Each structure stands twice: as structure tokens, then as C-alpha cells.
Amino acid sequence: MIDKIKEHIAEVEAFNAETADQIEAFRIKYLGKKGILNGFFAEFKSVPNEQKKDFGQAVNALKQAAEAKVTSLKEVLESKQEEKGVYGDLSRPAEPIEIGARHPISIVKNQIIEIFSNVGFNVSEGPEIEDDWHNFTALNLPEYHPARDMQDTFFIQTDPDILLRTHTSSVQVRYMEENKPPIRTISPGRVFRNEAISARSHCIFHQVEGLYIDKDVSFADLKQTLLYFTKQLFGKSKIRLRPSYFPFTEPSAEVDIYWGLETETDYRITKGTGWLEIMGCGMVDPNVLRNCNIDPTEYSGFAFGMGIERIAMLLYQIGDIRMFYENDVRFLEQFKSSI
Ligand code: DAH
């Protein structure tokens, strides 16, 4: 009998409970009216006299153990509930923390900045609301110049002199007005054109402008710089410069990279030629230098401009420019692993 009581004491000591119901069930089992302890007390009279003392002590020990257990379990439970009051339920699984992603336009912009800053270009910025001088006139596009039609402009209604810049070339002018050569700067930023929105074009997009002015800068320097850039960004090492026209450069060129014709997509995006146009460039027109108080007999330089969306679409194989502005998380979260 005493062994049985000792087993119970061990069971009581090992017992643990998490909820008030479990503690109550334990209390009833041992200390309730029809509980184990009262069972032993009822048997007391039938215990032989010489064992009564040991038996009594053992039952008392069991009673004390059970009561102490109930008290301590209740205390633990109460203290947990107090914590809950201040901090919530500390035993709940943690909320998963969602880590955001950079926008693909920012990712590509930062890559371009990094590549050019490695060869000494700094970053400059200008205003999105521009005046006619910086967006057009200083860039060799005087009033009534037909090339103004190449860029459908948003004007600020009350003042025909104020507009939303149509390209980041306006920052070239501002930079040259404020800094003396040597100049090596790239200017990323948002530009605006009054164009119909489609899969290929949008009325708001981003460009990066590049400008290099120093003594004896040549077209060969331009080509070498662009080759370095395309190798770094696309991992492609074949480019070609096609003669073109921009009012602010002379001579002017469009830059194509050789993308290859390995896959069906390559065929589609290069229209079967393997070549892709990625930017415009040229030697800064002497008129532009003069407009910015730089002496064209002393200095020469090159400039280039590219659309960030176009480059991001090529790098990430994005088929529709509108995706960049819809902020659909299913699109954005695909860039989580990119820097
Ligand atoms: N501003 C031109 C555009 O928006 C791009 C461009 C072409 C910039 C040639 C240049 C350049 O600096 O030299 O289409």
C-alpha cells in the first residue's frame, strides 16, 4: 500500500499542465471528494495498527505534494497570462517578416551608375520641370527647329517656356553651365513625353544621360567607353555605331549591341538580325559647348543617352513597359533576389 502511495507521489511530482482545465482535472483526481486521497483516508481504519503511523505519514506526504503542485501550476499559469497582457501570446509562432524588393528600374539604374562610376563618372541630377533653354534651345534646338517634333512635349499650360523635360540631356546643359571641364558625369532621371501608352512606350519613363568633356576627347574614346559599358552590363562584347542624327551631337550615332540569334526569343526581339539598338550618342556639338560657356576650340567631348526601361526589359525579358508602373506585387516580388 505504501509503495502505491509512493508511486502516486512520484506521479504528482512529475505532473505538468498548461491549461486551467488540466490543473482542475488533476486537483479533482487527487484532492476531490471522490479523489485518490479520500480513497486512502477511507482505507485508514482497515490498516493494521502497527502500520498506521507510516501509512498516515505517506498519505499526508501525498496530500501535501498534490496541494503544492496545484498551487505552483496555478502560479505559473497566472504569470504567463500576465505576460500575455503586455506582450501578447509569447508562445504563438512569429509573424513572417516580408522583405521588400527594389524596383527593377532602380536595380538597373544602380547597375549603370556603378559601371560608370568605376571609370570616374559622377552622378548629377536636374529638375523634372524644365525651361525651354535647358531642354531645347541650349541643345541646339532653337524655336521652330523641326527636330522638336521628335519629342512630343508636355507644356505647363500657363507658360510655354516651362515644360516637363523630354530627355535627361537637359542635365548636360545644367552641368556644363555650373562646372568646368574635365567633366565626367551621368544623369539618371525621369522624363515625360506626350505619347500614347502601349506595350512599347509610355508617357513617363527613365533615361540615363552621359557626358564627357575634356581636351582631345575623340570618337574612339566614345566607342571604347560604350564597349566597356555593354560588356559590363550585358556581358556582350560586340557593338556597332550606326550614323544617325541628334541636334546636340555631331557626328551622331545609334548604338547597337550584338545580342545573338541562339533562341527563338533572340530572333523575335532582334527581328531576325541579331542586333539591338540600345542608345543614342555622339560628339557634343560645338554650338552646345558654346551655349554652356565652354570653348569648343579648347575642349571636345561625347554624350550618350539611353532609356532605362528598354534596358531593363532586355535584361529581364519583360514584354510590356506598363508592368513597371502598375506596382503589381506578383511582378515586383520577382526582383527580391536582385541587389
Ligand atoms: N536625348 C536623346 C533622346 O532622348 C538621347 C540622346 C542621344 C542623348 C544622343 C545624347 C546623345 O546625349 O548624344 O532620345
What's 248's domain CATH number?
3.30.930.10
Residue 168 CA: which ligand 1 atom is closest? 1
Co-location of 75 and 112 in the same domain: no
For atom 12 of ligand 1, the residue with the nearest CA is: 304
Q: Is the CB of 206 under 6 A from ligand 1?
A: no
Q: What does the pLDDT profile of the chain (339 residues) look like in tens digits?
A: 788 888 888 888 888 888 888 888 888 888 888 888 888 888 878 888 888 888 888 888 888 888 888 888 888 888 777 666 677 777 888 888 878 889 999 999 999 999 999 999 999 999 999 999 999 999 999 888 877 776 789 988 788 899 999 999 999 999 999 999 999 999 999 999 999 999 989 999 999 999 999 999 999 999 999 999 999 999 988 999 999 999 999 999 999 999 999 989 888 888 999 999 999 999 999 999 999 999 999 999 999 999 999 999 999 999 899 999 999 999 999 998 765
Binding-site annotation: residue ranges? 250
Distance CA 57, CA 54 (A): 5
Residue 199 belongs to a domain: yes
Q: Residue 36 contacts by C-beta under 8 Å, 6 or more apart in sequence?
A: 8, 29, 30, 62
Q: Is the CB of 280 under 6 A from ligand 1?
A: yes
Q: Is the CB of 284 under 6 A from ligand 1?
A: no
Q: How far is the CA of 305 from the centre of ligand 1 (A)?
A: 4
Q: How far is the CA of 197 from the centre of ligand 1 (A)?
A: 21
Quote the pLDDT of residue 157.
Answer: 77
Q: Residue 250 contacts by C-beta under 8 Å, 6 or more apart in sequence?
A: 282, 283, 285, 286
Binding-site annotation: residue ranges for Mg(2+)? 250
Residue 97 belongs to a domain: no
Residue 302 CA: which ligand 1 atom is closest? 13
Chosen domain end from 58, 87, 116:
87
Residues composing the chain: 339
Q: Which regions of 97-199 does DSSP assign to beta strands (E)?
A: 122-123, 129-131, 155-156, 159-164, 183-192
Residue 93 belongs to a domain: no
Co-location of 273 and 145 in the same domain: yes
Co-location of 187 and 302 in the same domain: yes
Residue 304 belongs to a domain: yes
pTM of the model: 0.73
Asked whether 139 and 169 are in contact (CB, 8 A), the reply is yes
Asked whether 170 and 136 are in contact (CB, 8 A), the reply is no
Quote the pLDDT of residue 83.
Answer: 65
Co-location of 282 and 167 in the same domain: yes
Residue 99 belongs to a domain: no
Co-location of 39 and 153 in the same domain: no
Residue 272 belongs to a domain: yes
Quote the pLDDT of residue 338.
Answer: 63
Residue 82 belongs to a domain: yes
Quote the pLDDT of residue 279.
Answer: 97
Q: Which regions of the chain does DSSP assign to beta strands (E)?
A: 122-123, 129-131, 155-156, 159-164, 183-192, 204-214, 239-246, 249-258, 275-284, 300-307
Distance CA 137, CA 142 (A): 5
Chosen domain end from 87, 121, 140:
87
Tell me which of 281, 283, 285, 306 to substitute to probe ligand 1's pocket, judged by most ligand atoms within 8 Å of the beta carbon. Answer: 281
Co-location of 42 and 140 in the same domain: no
Co-location of 19 and 148 in the same domain: no
Co-location of 160 and 274 in the same domain: yes
Domain of residue 324, residue span: 104-335
Co-location of 295 and 236 in the same domain: yes
Q: How far is the CA of 23 from the centre of ligand 1 (A)?
A: 79
- Domains identified in the chain, total number: 2
Q: Is the CB of 246 under 6 A from ligand 1?
A: yes
Q: How far is the CA of 13 from the centre of ligand 1 (A)?
A: 83
Q: Is the CB of 121 under 6 A from ligand 1?
A: no
Chosen domain end from 59, 87, 115:
87
Q: Is the CB of 307 under 6 A from ligand 1?
A: no
Co-location of 123 and 80 in the same domain: no
Co-location of 29 and 139 in the same domain: no
Q: How far is the CA of 35 from the centre of ligand 1 (A)?
A: 92
For atom 6 of ligand 1, the residue with the nearest CA is: 305
At 244, list the grid cell. Answer: 544617325
Residue 95 belongs to a domain: no
Quote the pLDDT of residue 84.
Answer: 65
Q: In terms of Cα–Cα distance, which of 207, 179, 191 is closest to 306?
A: 207
Co-location of 46 and 116 in the same domain: no
251 burial (CB, 10 Å; 0-12 / 13-18 / 19+) is middle
